[in-house]
Structure 1
Amino acid sequence: MDRLFANGTVNAAQSGEGPPLFLFHSLLSDRASFDAIVPQLETSFRTIVPELPGFGLSRAVEGGLEAVADRMAEAVRDAAGGASAIVLGNGYGGFVALLMAIRHPDIAGKLILADCGAAFSEPGREAFRNMAKASREKGLEAITDVAMRRLFAPDFQAQHPELMQGRREAFLRTDPTVFGAACDALAGLDLRAELGLVKVPVLVLVGEHDEATPPPMSHELAAGLPRAELKVIPDCAHVPQLQSPRQFLDAMKEFLR
């Protein structure tokens, strides 16, 4: 069931009963990337899967990634209703969740940061600058193959044509203006000096073969956080919850207790 939060600006699917658990999607995907794990999670949690600002029915926000993080903090407070929340972010959603926790230290009791980091290498920054430029000049269609490669290895794509068709269609529904602004924000992001502000327990997850946010980024992130543990998910890339839902859920099981 969809509901609106943060004064009607953030649209989210909500299901299940229990402590609130938020799932923030990646830039190259959408909230459907969590569909395979929600049925399991909603047996123990009130699972809330928002569309991030500018995606789906959620209203875009001006002011860069900081404004996105502030909007999502408002949505989390609204939806959690005073209860201690767990926030899981994948990729772009992980960066939003991390920045939200830095700017709003009381927003969550636990964080799960999957396939993100605190800062990109220069080649990583250049990749975002190139995607932003190409999308503005030629449209999202021009970078769809690049986007899918950042999500999944070629072998996985070849073995799962129906899933890939759905992922391509989801990516092409992205607002190009929102996509370009997010790429620009990620190209300039560096949160390493602020990681010490995150005092809550954090589980850092990363797919072994993630090319979009390579494992060294997650190692650096976990090392910089005061209360973090790191788990590498074998044989997975940038969206392990789609590629291997059971492994992803197993990796979180102890942390969610």
Structure 2
Amino acid sequence: MGFVKLADGELNYQLEGPEGAPVLVLSNSLGTDLQMWDTQMPAFTEHFRVLRLDTRGHGKSLVTEGPYSIEQLGRDVLALLDALDIQRAHFCGLSMGGLIGQWLGINAGERLLKLVLCNTAAKIGSPEIWNPRIDMVLRDGQAAMIGLRDASIARWFTADFAQAHPDQAKRITDMLAATSPQGYAANCGAVRDADLREQLASIQVPTLVIAGTEDAVTPPSGSLFIQQQVPGAEYAEFYAAHLSNVQAGDAFSDRVLTFLLDR
């Protein structure tokens, strides 16, 4: 665990795995923190130096005045790589992390080896969805975050998974309740304002797109759109809702490793 100083605060990160191995950056979804990737760590650290970070406004990272932008969050990732003297890395992001990955692929492809975009879209939702949520969170603070946590179980996991694995579901959704309301609202603004649909074709790095069959937040149609726009992109789909890395577990990890390790 460590912190990198940015111009306006500190970014929390964790770096694990064999020194000298290729670096794999993992980027969290809206309302979670770097521990959302715990399921993947045993498999990923066998092959990679894994760099996880708490996106600005989440976990132990800085909370600054919003709204944020996906470009701002992407530049945070580049600043982290620069601070750790990492020239190029693989990148895997889920949901909002997937938007950050798309921005990096479009604007900083020379820093990427391969790109994995999970449970995401080039445009997620609309202002009519995001603005009331932002207003509620800024008005009601932590009470709103607790309410969002309780509602998120049905969005993040299928009912059968949540029932069979209540501890896993609770571990992840508790991250949402612990997220800074100001940071969450600022990140909602970043997701609301992002629309990368017209720029996807400029991504030149090898890309894998992953979707969840039961994902109502970012349905497979949005993932397939990315796959069709990014030259040569691969596509995989798992029985899962929004957090396929948790629900699909080992199958998710195996598919990502197959893609990243394919020479």
| TM-score normalised according to structure 2 size | 0.88
Alignment of 1:65-104 (within 5 A): 65-79=70-84, 81-82=86-87, 84-104=88-108
Q: Does the CA contact (< 8 Å) of 2:64 and 2:183 recur in 1?
A: no
| Greater displacement, 59-68 / 216-225 | 59-68
Q: Over residues 43-62 of structure 1, what are the superposed CA-to-partner deviations in whole Å (9 max), with x where a residue is unaligned?
A: 11101111111222222356
Cα deviation 1:225-253 (Å, max 9, x = unaligned): 123111111x2111122112111012223
- Match of residue 160 from structure 1: 165
Q: Is the 8 A contact 1:95 1:117 kept in 2?
A: yes
Alignment-derived partner of residue 212 in structure 1:
217
Show the counterpart of 2:133: 131
Question: Counterpart in 2 of 1:3?
Answer: 2
Separation of aligned partners in 2, 1:66 and 1:151? 25
SS at match of 2:199: helix
Sequence identity (%): 25
SS at 2:105's partner residue?
Answer: helix
Structure 1 segments unaligned to the other structure (5+ residues)? none
Q: Superposed, which structure 2 residues align to 1:109-124 within 5 Å?
A: 109-120=113-124, 122=126
Within-5 A mapping of 1:231-250? 231-233=236-238, 235-250=239-254
Given that 1:28 and 1:147 are in contact with CA atoms closer than 8 Å, whether structure 2 keeps it comes out as: no
Q: Secondary structure at the match of 2:39?
A: coil
Question: Partner of 1:230 in structure 2?
Answer: 235
The secondary structure found in structure 2 opposite 1:111 is: strand
Matched residue of 2:50: which SS?
A: strand
CA contact (8 A) 1:61 1:68 kept: no
- Alignment of 1:151 with 2:147, yes or no, is no
Secondary structure at the counterpart of residue 208 of structure 2:
strand
Shift of residue 254, structure 1, vs aligned partner = 2.2
Cα separation, partners in 2 of 1:45 and 1:80, compared to 1, 3 Å: farther
- The answer (yes or no) to whether the contact 1:150–1:212 under 8 Å persists in 2 is yes
Q: Is the 8 A contact 2:28 2:34 kept in 1?
A: yes
Residue equivalent to 1:184: 189
Structure 2 counterpart of 1:60, from 54, 58, 63: 63
Query: Given that residues 13 and 53 in structure 2 are in contact (C-alpha distance below 8 angstroms), is that contact kept between their aligned partners in structure 1?
Result: yes
> C-alpha root-mean-square deviation of aligned residues, in Å?
1.9
- RCO comparison, higher one (Cα < 8 Å, 6+): 2
Could you tell me the TM-score, scaled by structure 1's length? 0.90
1:209 deviates by 1.0
